[in-house]
Amino acid sequence: MSSSPFADHDAGSPLERTLHTVNSALVFWFFAFLITGPKNSHATTALLALSLVTLPATVRVAPRVWAHAAPWLIGLGAYCSYQIAYRLIDGGLEARIDPPARYLGAIPILFYLARYGFNIKALWAGMAVGSLIGGVAGAQEVWIEGAQRAGAGIHPIAYGSILALLSMILLYGATIFRETTWRIFLSAAFAVGLTGVLLSGTRGLYAALAVCMAFIGYRALRQAGVSSRAVWLTAAFSLILTIAVASQIPAVNERLQETQREYAEIYEGNLDTSIGHRLQMWHAGLFIISERPLFGLGPDVTKRQTATQAFMEEHQYGPWVLRIYDHLHNLYINEAATFGLIGLTALAGLLFGALKGTFGPTRTMINLTIMIILLEGLTETILNHHRLMMTFMILVTVLRARLATETIGARNLTLSGQASPSAFDGAEGRIPGDSRPHP
């Protein structure tokens, strides 16, 4: 007889145990080959197919899953629906709706994973392997092949952003696992991934990395019982040490020197630099927002150039700047100029929905992801990169699915008078070595 759909899958039916194992392998596969695999992962395709095949069984538990994952499902649905409707009405990019339509596939995947589950260690192992593969591939590009910036076959900014996301979560994982083997494994993967981030030369990530590491360090020290004063002193010392070490890496040092040169040229009135181009694009983007505040101008780059031609000439900007870039190098300005303030609100709802209703380590992992997006988004339009956006969508989806499974399963066992099989033992965020941990 089949067990409760939210019970431990070791005690489930043969089908449930098989799907649990398959799901674990697919989750591992997705994160392990985030950078070096195809743009559209076969792992997500397989998960979507399984979610549709098992839909009749999943529907029975949908109300309970919805009760715990509603903020994310609503945010995801609203964001994707607005994007699809806008593109169809606007007609730009030949009404291409593939990216947002593809993201909607995360909804049935969440219900499916909440119903049949997966081993959370597959997620940790997949992220660690993905960080190792990506970091080594980038290091080979720069140190052996002589490339100026690491990218491992994809855009250096997307490459650096994905590795930053993985490495920061792995650093956090190294502070919450109790097993020494896992701590060493995750720490090594963090170090290799961070090396790849620095070799990517993505300057917009430096502040995000500093904030995330300070956040992780603060949480770890506070949970260890260290006083606030000692925590802040340690954080300041660690930050200074990290900056000193990172600045000795040739790729980082070169980018810092380049930044200083660009600021000097901008001060002298020369905007024909990377930062100067950004200043021109941001100003043009703000002009577009002032003209079309609610719905923006659409994703068509040609319309953007035509609408800002007189403005660019008036301010003696280079109109070619808007031709060589298909975005405005600022997440907030680009979203509002392209899809209007309504579109920016939809994006804010997506990020809020990802975090709303979460707790424990799941909340911390999503927090780290959002911090990287928001801080890097000040100088990059990072969510334009499909691979990075898909990483965010799937990561939040699997974490919310796991959280829903555990929360409902624990409540069922509590109501039946059994002990709740909490994934944590002792302090918040501690993962016991003999359990199947939920992050």
Q: What is the pLDDT of residues 21-35, one digit of tens each?
A: 999 999 999 999 999
pLDDT at 93: 55
Whole-number Cα distances in Å, 7 to 3, 47, 82, 376, 421: 7, 21, 37, 40, 10
Judgement on whether residues 95 and 54 belong to the same structural domain of the protein: yes
- Joined together, the tokens standing for residue 399 give 């974490």
Judgement on whether residues 107 and 155 belong to the same structural domain of the protein: yes
pLDDT at 45: 95
183 and 177 Cβ atoms separated by less than 8 Å: yes
Judgement on whether residues 65 and 53 belong to the same structural domain of the protein: yes
Residue 395 falls inside a structural domain: yes
Judgement on whether residues 210 and 100 belong to the same structural domain of the protein: yes
Residue 174 falls inside a structural domain: yes
- Joined together, the tokens standing for residue 71 give 């903020």
Judgement on whether residues 123 and 62 belong to the same structural domain of the protein: yes
Number of domains in the chain: 2
* Angular region, 152: left φ>0, alpha ψ -120 to 50, beta rest: left
Please list, residue by residue across 331-341, b when 16 or more beta carbons sit within 10 angstroms of its beta carbon and e when fewer do. Answer: bbbbbbbbbbb
CA–CA separation, 249 vs 247, rounded Å? 5
Q: Which residue ranges in the chain fall short of pLDDT 50?
A: 1-8, 413-439
Residue 265 falls inside a structural domain: no
CA–CA separation, 69 vs 353, rounded Å? 9
Phi, psi of 386 (to 5 degrees): -60, -40
Closest CA to 35 of 208, 171, 199: 199
Report CA 301 to chain centroid distance, whole Å. 26
Amino acid letter, 319: P
Judgement on whether residues 213 and 341 belong to the same structural domain of the protein: no
Judgement on whether residues 190 and 329 belong to the same structural domain of the protein: no
Judgement on whether residues 245 and 289 belong to the same structural domain of the protein: no
Judgement on whether residues 386 and 245 belong to the same structural domain of the protein: yes
Judgement on whether residues 241 and 280 belong to the same structural domain of the protein: no
Judgement on whether residues 124 and 140 belong to the same structural domain of the protein: yes
Whole-number Cα distances in Å, 53 to 56, 63, 105, 109, 370: 8, 19, 13, 11, 32
Report CA 263 to chain centroid distance, whole Å. 30
Q: Can you name the residues that pair with 431 across neighbouring β-strands?
A: 177
Residue 137 structural domain: 14-260+357-415
Residue 377: CB atoms within 10 A of its CB come to 22
Residue 431 falls inside a structural domain: no
Residue 1 falls inside a structural domain: no
Judgement on whether residues 128 and 199 belong to the same structural domain of the protein: yes
Residue 375 falls inside a structural domain: yes
Residue 334 falls inside a structural domain: yes
CA–CA separation, 239 vs 332, rounded Å? 28
pLDDT at 243: 67
pLDDT at 324: 83
Whole-number Cα distances in Å, 233 to 171, 174, 222, 228, 237: 20, 22, 13, 9, 6
Residue 332 falls inside a structural domain: yes
pLDDT at 245: 65
